Amino acid sequence: MRVLALDIGNSNVKVGIFDLGRLVHFWRIQTETGYPERVTAQIDHFLSHELPKELTPDGLTYCNVVPELEAAIIPTITDRFHIDTSHVIAVSPGGNVRIPIDLNGYPVEQLGPDRLVNVCAAHYLFPDRNALIVDFGTATTFDLVDRTGQFLGGVITPGMETFWGILAKKTARLDDVLWYKPESVLGKNTSQCLQAGLSAGYAGLYAETIRQIQAERPDMEFLILGTGGLAEPFQKLTDYAFKMDHVDPWLTIKGLYHIYKHTIPSSGL
């Protein structure tokens, strides 16, 4: 059985296709929030020209943080491939999904579906370890789950591009500035000052957040798992100064597949 997994985000739609349990293809489609008809056209083009015919999906699983895009994308896919509704798993409040995680009182309607999927992915992929998942996207989120599947809470901060974009609205010629770490934190011109602010400032945000989590849970050793489209740019920007035990830009996609298996155990996956 083949399963199509979608992570519908503010900046991108990540797409993965699983065949016999293996992620065999993945894509990233830039989205235009506020223009669902354009996104529908993009998805339709993708289904027509990029998805190999021999990988036509039998099932669909997705999470979404942009409701107007869900309404545009999901019917396009289910209609084209005639996917039965019993094989469509939506990871959302009120969705038809089962998860192996105890949220410990965290209101499920307040936990972003991408964060929920990341926690499930970490628990599936590293079942004997505590894990801190750091997702570098429009927001950068930190979520902690222990080896027994207990969700211990999280942190939400502005993402790197969001952090940068705030300055873009206020600072002239920001678009001319490249993302890299300058030789000195004390810039000698505006571009270097901005580069220092992003590299040193965002590195400080990351390091201090990790430090406080570790200080609050001194009894706990945990893996640090990086994901999201900006995980690797963050590492380059900081000269790989911060150890991450595992970096996987497709962690959310893999989590969606494992949730699909958990929700439909009779699917034969």
> What CATH number is given for 108-251 in this structure?
3.30.420.40
Q: What is the pLDDT of residues 184-235, one digit of tens each?
A: 999 888 778 888 888 888 889 999 999 999 999 999 999 999 998 888 888 8
Give me the sign of the Cα torsion angle 179, 183, 185, 188. Answer: negative
Q: What residue spans define the domains of the chain?
A: 2-97, 108-251
The helix/strand count (H/E) of the chain reads as: 7, 10
Determine the Cα–Cα distance for residues 151 and 128; give it in Å rounded to an integer.
Answer: 14
User: What's this model's pTM, rounded to 2 decimal places?
Assistant: 0.87
Q: What is the pLDDT of residues 14-46, one digit of tens each?
A: 899 999 889 998 888 877 666 777 877 887 888
Residue 24 · residue 3 · CB < 8 Å? no
Query: CATH number of the domain at 2-97, out of 3.40.50.300, 3.40.366.10, 3.30.420.40, 3.30.1360.170?
Result: 3.30.420.40
Q: Using the 8-state DSSP alphabet, how is residue 196 labeled?
A: H
User: One fold for both 2-97 and 108-251?
Assistant: yes
- pLDDT of residue 141 exceeding 70: yes
Core vs surface per residue 164-174: b (16+ CB within 10 A) or e: beeeeeeeeee
Which of 114, 135, 176, 219 is the catalytic position?
A: 114
- pLDDT of residue 168 exceeding 80: no
DSSP letter string, 121-188 = HHHHHSTTS-EEEEEESSEEEEEEE-TTSBEEEEEEEE-HHHHHHHHHTTSTTGGG------S-SS-S
User: Is 114 known to be catalytic?
Assistant: yes
CB atoms within 10 A of CB 198: 21
Q: What is the pLDDT of residues 226-259, one digit of tens each?
A: 998 888 888 888 878 888 999 998 999 999 999 9
Q: What is the pLDDT of residues 47-70, one digit of tens each?
A: 888 888 888 899 999 998 777 788
Determine the 3-state secondary structure of 19 from DSSP: strand
- pLDDT of residue 145 exceeding 90: yes
* Packed helices 67-81 and 36-49: angle between N→C axes, nearest 10 degrees: 30
